[in-house]
Structures are given as C-alpha cells and as structure tokens.
Amino acid sequence: MWKQFLGKISRKSAKSGGGGSPPEKSPRGGANGAEAELRASPPPPASPAPPAAGAETREDVFLQKLNICCVVFDFAAERGRDSPEVERKRQVLLSLVDCVSAAEEPLTEAMISACVRMFAINLFRVFPPKVRSLASDEDEPFFDPSWYHLQVVYELLLRFVMSPVVDVKVARKYMDNSFISRLLDLFDSDDPRERECLKSVLHRVYGKFMGNRPFIRKAVSNIFYRFVFETDHHNGIAELLEVFGSVISGFARPLKEEHKLFLWKALIPLHKPKTVGMYLPQLTYCITQFIEKEPKLTGTVIRGLLKYWPVTNSQKEMMFLGELEEVLELTEMADFQKCAVPLFRRIAHCLNSSHFQVAERALFLWNNEHLFDLISLNRQVILPIIYPALERNARWHWNQSVLNVTMNVRKMFLDMDEKLLLACQSNFQEEEEKRAASEERRRLVWERLEKNAAFRPVTGDIRFAVPPTPVPLVAPTMT
C-alpha cells in the first residue's frame, strides 16, 4: 500500500517538470493567478444603495403617523376605547413619543410643522360640558372623557419641547404667540390632570423659547385681570402661580420695573376674589419670592393686603393673618416702621373680633420671635394702638381661650415696659370715662326728646280745606 502511494507521488512530480527547475511565469499566467486570487478572496462590503423611487423615508413615515393622529374622536358619542380606530391612534401616538425621545438626527422643518399642527388639532378644543350623575358630589373633580388620547398628546408635546433634536428657531416659527395664547387658555380646563400637564409644558416652553417670555408674562397678567375684575372664575390660577413661582425666583437683581408692576397690578389684586383660598399658598410663595429679591417691596405688599382685607369673611381673614405673618418674617426694621401704624390698627380690629378663631390667630402673632423683636423695639408706637383692644378682650370677650392668650400678651408687654403699660392703662381709663359720660349725655338727650314727642290732646278748632267740586264738561251743541 505504501509502495502504491509513493509511486503516485513520483508520477506527479515527473509531470510537473522533471528537471527540477521551475517554469517561467508568463504575464498572461500572472493575470490568471490574480483573477483566481480575487475569486478566492471574500467580496468587499457593498456600499449602501440609494433608496428606490418607491421607498419611504424616515420623514415620510413620521408624517404619515402624524396624519393618523390628526383624526379627533368624540368620546361622548362613540364607543370610546372599544373602537379599534381609537386604540390604533393611541398606539401610533405612543410610537411617536418613543420616536421623539430616542431621535438622534434633528427633526426637519416639515416634521416640526406637522407636529405643531397635530398638537393644535388635538388640544385646542371646546371643553366638554360637566355631566354628573345624581350620586356624584359637586366637589368631586371632573375628568375629560377624551383623556385617553390627550394624555399621550401632552406627553408627546412635553418630549417635543424638551428634545435637543428640535431646532428652537424653526419651532418658534410655528409655536408662535398665537399658539402659546391658546395653550394658556387650556388652563381653564375642569380636568386637574390636564392642568398638571399644562403646568409642566408651560414651564418648559418658558425656559426654552426665551423670545416668547415677555408675551407669556403679559398673557398671564391678562388672565389674572380677567379673573379678578370680570369673570371671578378660573380653574387654573393655582397652576399658573406655581409656574410663576419658579419664574420669579429666576428674576435678576435689581428687579425691573416691569416685574414690580406685575407684583402690584397682577398678584396683589388676586387677594380680592372669594376663592382666594384655592390658590393662596402659591400666591404667598410668589409674593415672598419678590420680597426676598427686593426687601423694600414689603411696604407695597402690606399696603396691598390692607387694601383687600376682608371685613365680613372670617375664614378669609384668618388666611390673611397667616400670609401677613409670613411677610412680616421677611420684613426689615425700616420697612416695618413705615407701615406699623395702619398695620396694627387692623390687627387691633382682629383682636376684638367676635369670631374667636380670628382673635386667637391675631394674638398668636406674638409667638413669632422676629415679629416680637420688631414689636418690642417699636413698642412706644404699637402699644398705645393695641392696648385698648387687649383691655376690651380681658373685660368682655366671651371665649376663654382668647381671654387666656390676651392675658399672656399683656404680661409680655408688662415685662417689656411696665411704665409704658401703666401709662396706656391710665389713658384707657380716661377714654372710658369720657365715653361713659358721652353715652350718658346722649341717653338724657333721647329721654328728653321722647318726653317732648309724647301724645297730647289736640285743642282748638281744626278746619280742613275742602277741595272744590269739579265742574262737569258739557259738549257744545251744533245749531
């Protein structure tokens, strides 16, 4: 077997050249070898072929999805979520959210324009009427039936505004002042979920579109004016104030005159409506942000509070006292002295309120350490104003809790300046004696008038004038 194998090898070597010298390579033979080598080597990677005439690009697919989402469904009249078209639109919206979130290439102008158009078609609408069942509570929030789609549209709008692939200059051509104005009108929605989404969107729009900031401030001011002086109803005041709380915190120092006017003409009048309790925490935060930026505005704020101070609404009066305490905590001595007299005249009225919670809340102002220091340093002005109210509470107030706190405040002033307290007590006694004497004189005058006006019999003849008898009119006779 090995002999046969070796014989085959010898025969192959004899055929290849016998003499042992290699044959010369011709040029033609070299070319054939190169071709064979190319055939044996792997082919090079194929270059990307240009898209065919009928192939769809990324922009085309994006625009097609946006066109599908421009169809608006009436959830009150149709089958709602059970409809396959409704579910299809929601799935397309979700795919658009993922597409914008994961996009790395900038969106084209056509894509941006189509996005803004789709937002306008879906969001800018007439609010649905409030339809409640008989068993539902009036205070229960109203939920928009079309929220199944609106939620995803708002999510897409937020991602669109936040996305770095959206060119701000191009987007401003389509998200202009008209678009922002209609977006602000949506804050009057009855659905709290929509107002919460709008709050996030407006905050991002204000931060990204810097050229629209003056218009946004002016438009929001107009909403506040209309609410305070015309309609007395708006659902989104709290959300707008919450957005502007962060906006005010970003104002540069010193404050511009435009921003001060916004405080005096837009924020301070918001204390006037009866529904101030719905947004008072957000309003107080905005006002305190202004004072932290410029402490001299304290006097402006306190004068505004005194201007709109409630007279017959005890719950609102307690809210004002709470806000007043927060403002006074940020007040400096010079500004406090300018408004101390009118301020403590109003506090004295609160101390004598027949509503025990109002009187008690006013007395609790003395528990604030910063306010107590301001009062103690200005006691020569404040105690003569406050002492009559304290003395009347101690003598005649019906609530025991108010009486106890009043005695504690009197003791504070006694420890602070006993001589001044005794002088105020003496003045109060003199005023009370004068008042009692004046009331006694008034009582005597009325008694004398009553005696003089008592019934007496009438003497003498009284003749009443008898009206003349009218003469009957006679028609003239024709002759």
- For the chain of 479 residues, list the mean pLDDT of each consecutive stretch of 10: 41 43 40 38 43 67 94 72 84 95 92 96 87 55 88 96 94 95 95 95 95 95 96 94 94 93 96 95 96 94 96 94 96 94 96 94 95 95 95 92 95 93 94 92 92 69 58 56
Neighbours of 336 (CB within 10 A): 20
Give the CA dihedral 252, 255, 257, 260, nearest 10 degrees: 120
* Predicted local distance difference test score (pLDDT) of residue 48: 44
Map tokens 């914008």 to a residue. 100
Tokens of 48: 């990307």
Entry pTM: 0.79
Which pLDDT score, from 0 to 100, does residue 453 have?
84
- Residue 24: the pLDDT is 42
Q: 296: closest CA among 344, 255, 251? A: 255
Q: What is the pLDDT of residue 375?
A: 95
pLDDT at 467: 60
